[in-house]
Amino acid sequence: MTQAANPQVNAQFEVWPGKAYPLGATYDGTGTNFALFSEAAERVELCLFDDDGSGNLTETRLTLPEVDGFVWHAFVPNIEPGQRYGYRVHGAYDPAAGARCNPNKLLLDPYAKAIEGTFEWNQSLFGYNFGDPDSRNDDDSAASMPKCVVINPYFDWGVDRPPGHEYADTVIYEAHVKGLTQTHPDIPEQIRGTYAAVAHPVIIEHLKSLGVNAIELMPVHHFVNDSTLIEKGLSNYWGYNTIGFLAPDPKYSSSPNPGGHVQEFKAMVRALHEADIEVILDVVYNHTAEGNHLGPTLSMRGIDNAAYYRLVDDDKRYYMDYTGTGNSLNVGHPHTLQLIMDSLRYWVTEMHVDGFRFDLASTLAREFYDVDRLSAFFELVQQDPTVSQVKLIAEPWDVGPGGYQVGNFPPQWTEWNGKYRDTVRDYWRGEPATLDEFASRLTGSADLYENTARRPVASINFVVAHDGFTLRDLVSYNEKHNEANGEDNNDGESHNRSWNCGVEGPTDDPEINALRARQQRNFLTTLLLSQGVPMIAHGDELGRTQQGNNNVYCQDNELSWIDWASADSDLIEFTRSVSGLRAAHPVFRRRRFFSGRPVRQRGGEKLPDIAWFAPDGSEMSDEDWESGFAKSIAVYLNGHGIPDLDVRGQRVIDDSFVLCFNAHYEPIEFVLPAEQFGTAWVPVINTAAAGDEEAERYDASAKVSVDARSVLVLQSAPADEK
């Protein structure tokens, strides 16, 4: 649709005072209340857009008559769901002072619950003239802007309820809506790549078969497709470029109706909840798509630039950038904090999601300059009766000074444990001096979390995430291969802690391919049997490859999508078996850290809740831990030493296990623990055998050969099965 000229002003619409709360557009059955915060505004116009019947949009401008506490508001009777709208804000334009109001720029409502259309990149979207950033551009942007849409808030949730999984029992699956579903042959073509596809039974059945009970969706807030990527023939695939914090992005909807985007998202959540799967959203509150001082004027910049963004103190035409994207939201301003909190509450109460993963969360902790875990944002979350009760996962770093904050977030938060990722990668690629830290990561990273009153579940364990190599590529490439991104392979992380097993990329060498398959099983076994909360990246259980590209943020194509036709069925079955072992045995899902102290057993004797052994069967000494060349270790997990209670208040009792890890390039003979730890042991996982474990039982103190670069998991056997 094109934009009609000569907008009408205050034509045919009644305008009542309305209310300053809630912010945004709120339909009540008789009309719609509009409310917009702007301390910088001198006048605010609500712009209503309607189809004139010939493919053009007519614009009607209504001046908001009331302002209370810097919130401009009005109630317009008979405005119904489906109404397109935007704002024009009149006020000062003085970039050097941080003011960038310009009524010639149509602005998106920060509280819009649905947004329709795309950005048509041209000069009109920018507040300055190209080539002269100190000038002012007054081209009208309405024809090139998407429009906000009033939605119908009503939805039949039926008996929907949050699954409410305990962290210790949670297995997270990080996924991209489109990347997960775009090529699945059993999903109807018309809904592939959408919210409806995620809710399709074949996806739900796959997740359930893996033991997944929480899906973490990469950004679904309405985001901008960058002009620089479009010019290269690429697009913003990942979506970390938000412009609407309450609106689900229509690119992932099969419905042509903007209100249908919201309904489809809700239906997806309802279907996942019916399958006992939680929905966690990856959210980007640290910056917006408006970028730095050379970015477009799309929403908050033109509404109240100094309130919404952190500006450089001694020259307010520039933006503080802790995110590497051009700007940082001003979380020190009460209305910006309100926007974030209102958004979080909306997604919980109205969209029924179960938690959030906060992108570059350290930025939200920067009260002034330094990272402060007692910042206003965390205080608000702590006291909020809704937001404080869902899963809160921090990506505990940003690109600013002191931004790497793994282990330093408040007690109710969990964290993506980057140190877990790095240590486990280093161990399995054979780096020296990793044994003691590997042991710490395997047992929940007490060194990071125990001193702050947190438990093992504070650690979201992952080896692979969306940003970086896939699991298959991690064992197939030493170097990134990002040429398709058009940046001469300069983008993406260069230090991947990967190992190609001897050849870069695909090979026909059967020994190398066998080693790569074993290494993938090693990583999955380590991940799923570590204390803490495991997170699997979508497709890693299928053997997904990105052909060595470790930064597919701009690759919305077969390179980044899961290729379901090439799925590794053996790896899928292996992942299911290890995940099933985790689910069946609470010794792998402890809610408290190991103490190492003796615990009374059924027979009356006392054994530690955990014990570490060198391959010769002796308990690890300080000298063993400090040996930089050691690559092999066994750990005993005492199933009678779990300090947790079940829902009835009964002590949790489980079988005991011995896990033998061998990252050495040759087989190692392990001596199993002495009889006091268990009289007989049965192998249940052997990453070298890929599911073909022998039925053999091993006596206490028996010698067991563990293949090169493999894990052997043994379970205690009852005495009569010896």
User: Which residues are known catalytic residues?
Assistant: 359, 395
Q: What single DSSP character describes residue 427?
A: H
Q: Where are the beta strands (DSSP E) in 575-694?
A: 598-600, 606-608, 610-613, 632-637, 657-662, 668-671, 680-686
Contact between 397 and 415 (Cβ < 8 Å):
no
- CA distance linking residue 440 with residue 531, whole number of Å: 10
DSSP SS3 for 370 = coil
Query: What kind and span of H or E run contains 263?
Result: helix 258-274
Q: Which residues fall within 8 angstroms of residue 355, CB to CB, at 6 or more apart?
A: 214, 278, 279, 280, 281, 390, 391, 392, 393
**CA neighbor of 423 nearest in space, from 410, 435, 405, 409:** 435
DSSP SS3 for 472 = helix
Q: What single DSSP character describes residue 275?
A: T
- CA distance linking residue 248 with residue 243, whole number of Å: 11
Centroid of chain to Cα 410: 19
**CA neighbor of 289 nearest in space, from 341, 361, 227:** 227
- CA distance linking residue 443 with residue 583, whole number of Å: 17
- CA distance linking residue 24 with residue 37, whole number of Å: 9
CB atoms within 10 A of CB 124: 21
Amino acid letter for position 555:
Q
Ranges of H-type helices in 477-566: 510-529
Number of helices (H) and strands (E) in the chain: give both, helices first: 15, 33
**CA neighbor of 491 nearest in space, from 551, 557, 553:** 551
Q: What is the 3-state secondary structure (H, E, C) of 109-151?
A: CCCCCCEECCCCCCHHHCCCECCECCCCCCCCCHHHCCEEECC
Q: What single DSSP character describes residue 393?
A: E
CA distances from 360 to 284, 357, 364 (A): 8, 9, 8
